[in-house]
Amino acid sequence: MKKLINDPKNVVNEAVAGFEAAHPDLVRVSHDPIYIVRADAPVKGKVGIVSGGGSGHEPLHGGFVGSGMLDAAVPGPVFTSPTPDPILAATQAVDGGVGVLHIVKNYTGDVLNFETAADLAAAEGIDVRSVIVDDDVAVKDSLYTAGRRGVAGTVLVEKIAGAAAERGDDLDAVAAVATKVNSQVRSMGVALTPCVVPHAGEPSFTLADDEIEIGIGIHGEPGRERIRMEPADAIVDRILAPIIDDIPFASGDSVLLFVNGMGGTPQVELYIVFRRAAEVLAEKGITVTRTLVGNFTTSLEMQGASITVLKLDDELTALWDAPVHTAALRWGK
């Protein structure tokens, strides 16, 4: 394992300190417990939005703290949900008096720790609502699993809920729009190579030189199937089909097409994937009206990509277009 780190135990501490040093105009950082809030938090009269989860998915979530998106991000250890303490502290730090929304990716650990924090915050008199993101169609949503996972679609939920909060929507409305985005967004990913969790020091799984994992999770959890390497277009077809079938997206729909890199994928490859995905959607009569391409929900140095499709309407489009100023997503100001 070769990584640009010091003691593996200090990866999150030191990265957060670096983030603070790099973006003093955008954020303030609490080091104990660890959380990141926007520089002007709490914003009086605005719904606060808190997200978080294990580290290793950067820029998710810290890179999305700032005006028009998250009020706070709570990074746990690498790939491990944060405990309730920092979530509670972050919730208190961003409470502008009109309630706080928790955006939580659907993993048992995240759900349980955010749940405890929400209970504690409620006991402190803060009105907390939670929206669970579960956009990953690789996993069956059945009684026999922990449910679909929250993956790259989370970025879209955070952006759009953030815009709703920024324009002054109340807690119910912000929670409703976040829920709506989650209901209209679907994702699926592919891994070409594994990632190495710093404290583990070894790859989280192995793939032969000619194998890829279809439906990979963002913590290196195995996906739907392990297959032989294929050309990019065939892989795109394979992971896009379950997305389009799931909602179901239909001819005439307008969508946001988001191609996400898993951290170690060259940008040329992301655009090759985008090209094919746009082609397939066009063939189905689905119009791509908004786009996002890049490393936004990563799995450390994993090579691979995920595709996310969000069905848009005028409201969601306007909220997507609304100004945002964070370290990783910025426009309109």
Partner 1 sequence: MALDTAWVTAWINRSTEVISENRVALITLDRDIGDGDHGENMDRGFQAVSTKLDTLSPDATPGDALKLVATTLISTVGGAAGPLYGTAYLKAAAAVGSAPELDGAAIVALLTAARDGIVLRGKAESGDKTMVDAWTPAVEAAEIAQQAGSSEVEILAAAADAAEAGAVATEPLVARKGRASYLGERAIGHRDPGAQSSALLLRAAADTAAGE
- Tell me how far apart the alpha carbons of residues 241 and 148 are, in angstroms, rounded to a whole number: 17
Regarding 109 and contact with ligand ADP (CB under 6 A), the answer is yes
Strands 72-78 and 34-38: antiparallel
Residue with tokens 């491990």: 80
- Given the rule CB under 5 A, which of 73-81, 84-92, 173-181, 321-329 is the region that contacts Mg ion? 73-81
- 54-93 positions binding ligand ADP, by CB under 6 A: 80-81
Strands 287-294 and 330-331: unpaired
Q: Where are the beta strands (DSSP E) in the chain?
A: 27-31, 34-38, 48-55, 72-78, 100-105, 128-133, 185-191, 211-214, 225-228, 254-261, 287-294, 304-312, 324-325, 330-331
Regarding 233 and contact with a copy of itself (CB under 8 A), the answer is yes
Interface residue with partner 1 among 14, 124, 172, 202 (CB under 8 A) is 202
Helix (H/G/I), strand (E/B), else coil: 331: strand
Residue with tokens 């996400």: 260
- Given the rule CB under 8 A, which of 109-117, 160-168, 178-186, 288-296 is the region that contacts a copy of itself? 288-296
Q: x-or-dash pattern for a copy of itself, window 16-55, by CB under 8 A? A: xxxx-xxx-------------------------------x
Q: Is 68 left (phi over 0), alpha (psi -120 to 50) or beta?
A: left
For residue 143, what are the contacts with CB-CB under 8 A and spacing of at least 6? none
Interface residue with a copy of itself among 45, 144, 209, 314 (CB under 8 A) is 209
Q: x-or-dash pattern for partner 1, window 128-157, by CB under 8 A? A: ----------xx---xxxx--x--------
Q: Which is nearer to Mg ion, 79 or 320 (CB)?
A: 79
**For residue 160, what are its two tokens?**
């759009």
Task: Kindly calculate the radius of gyration of the chain based on its CA atoms and give it in whole angstroms.
Answer: 19
- 75-94 positions binding partner 1, by CB under 8 A: 76-85
**For residue 126, what are its two tokens?**
């803060």
Q: Which is nearer to partner 1, 67 or 106 (CB)?
A: 106
The listed partner (ligand ADP, partner 1, a copy of itself, none) that binds 174, CB under 5 to 8 Å by sort, is: none
- Given the rule CB under 8 A, which of 135-143, 152-160, 178-186, 325-333 is the region that contacts a copy of itself? 325-333
Q: Which are the catalytic amino acids? A: 57, 219
Q: How many CA atoms lie within 13 A of 90 on its CB side?
A: 39
Helix (H/G/I), strand (E/B), else coil: 264: coil
- Tell me how far apart the alpha carbons of residues 44 and 212 are, in angstroms, rounded to a whole number: 48
Instruction: Reply yes or no: is the peptide bond before residue 42 cis, omega within 30 of 0.
Output: yes
The listed partner (Mg ion, ligand ADP, a copy of itself, none) that binds 228, CB under 5 to 8 Å by sort, is: none
Instruction: Reply yes or no: is the peptide bond before residue 33 cis, omega within 30 of 0.
Output: yes
Regarding 5 and contact with partner 1 (CB under 8 A), the answer is no
Regarding 80 and contact with Mg ion (CB under 5 A), the answer is yes
Regarding 205 and contact with partner 1 (CB under 8 A), the answer is yes
- Which residues would be at the binding site for a copy of itself (CB under 8 A)? 2-7, 11-12, 14-19, 21-23, 55-56, 58-59, 63, 78, 190, 192-193, 195, 209-210, 212, 229, 231-233, 235, 259, 263-276, 278, 288, 291, 293, 295, 298, 300-301, 303-305, 327, 330-333
